[in-house]
Amino acid sequence: MIHCIGDSHSSVFSGEEKMQDVWPERSNDTIDFFRSYRIGPATAYNLSTKIYIIDDILSQSGFSKEKDIVLLCFGEVDVRAHLIKQANLQNKTFLEVCEECVDNYMNGIEELKNKGLNIAGWGVIASFNESVKNYTGPSFGTNLERNEVTKIFNDLLKNRLKHLDIPFVSIFEEMLNADGTTNPEYLDDWEGCHIHLNQKAMPIILEAFRKQKMI
């Protein structure tokens, strides 16, 4: 079983076309491979402050250290709402702010790995395309800029995880148009957000996990 824990983007793994309730409310999971747990608008940067919630989830979910995997679904909030803003405020490059964020994220990931958990990382998805439908929540930069930051973040995370023999799963590249903007086909229209994956993306998601031999 893959236990998908993270921000609202963990909801896609429920198999439903809606955002799941926040833990300790249980998700309505419909896909045999996955159990999803939404812990709210958490960030990759502050994962270390959420370890106690993950511990609580795993203690109540029938999690098996020998058989099961914890998939960490964080980073979209960082990309959309914080990293470009901080790059501008601190006069730093996108690479510099992504490196700092991934460093912090890895501190939490290593803490979880040191507990003897089988960890995997979920790549940040492509950002909403404002030319199709605008998002009214916290957001900085254009679609192209956010996707540029997403690629930097994902590449850094993938490389850091590789050194720890931790799988990295992503469908970011499959979501892009030829010009680097986001193809909105796989983004939801629930909650009026248009920032989360819909279930049209599930075949691509499952294929990504099969390539990693995780399902």
Calculate what percentage of the chain has a pLDDT beyond 90. Answer: 88
pLDDT tier for residue 19 given thresholds of 50, 70 and 90: confident
CB atoms within 10 A of CB 1: 16
Q: Which domain holds residue 176?
A: 2-211
- Highest mean pLDDT (candidates 34-48, 132-146, 182-196): 34-48
What's the CATH code of the domain at 181?
A: 3.40.50.1110
SS3 state at 202:
helix
pLDDT reported for residue 136: 77
pLDDT tens digits, 129-178 = 887 666 778 899 999 999 999 999 999 999 999 999 999 999 999 999 99
Which stretches does DSSP call E strand in the chain?
2-6, 34-38, 69-73, 119-122, 168-169
pLDDT reported for residue 188: 79
Q: How many domains does the structure of the chain reveal?
A: 1
* DSSP per residue, 112-162: HHTTT--EEEEPPPPPP-TTT----SS--S-HHHHHHHHHHHHHHHHHHHH
φ and ψ of 70, to 5 deg: -100, 115
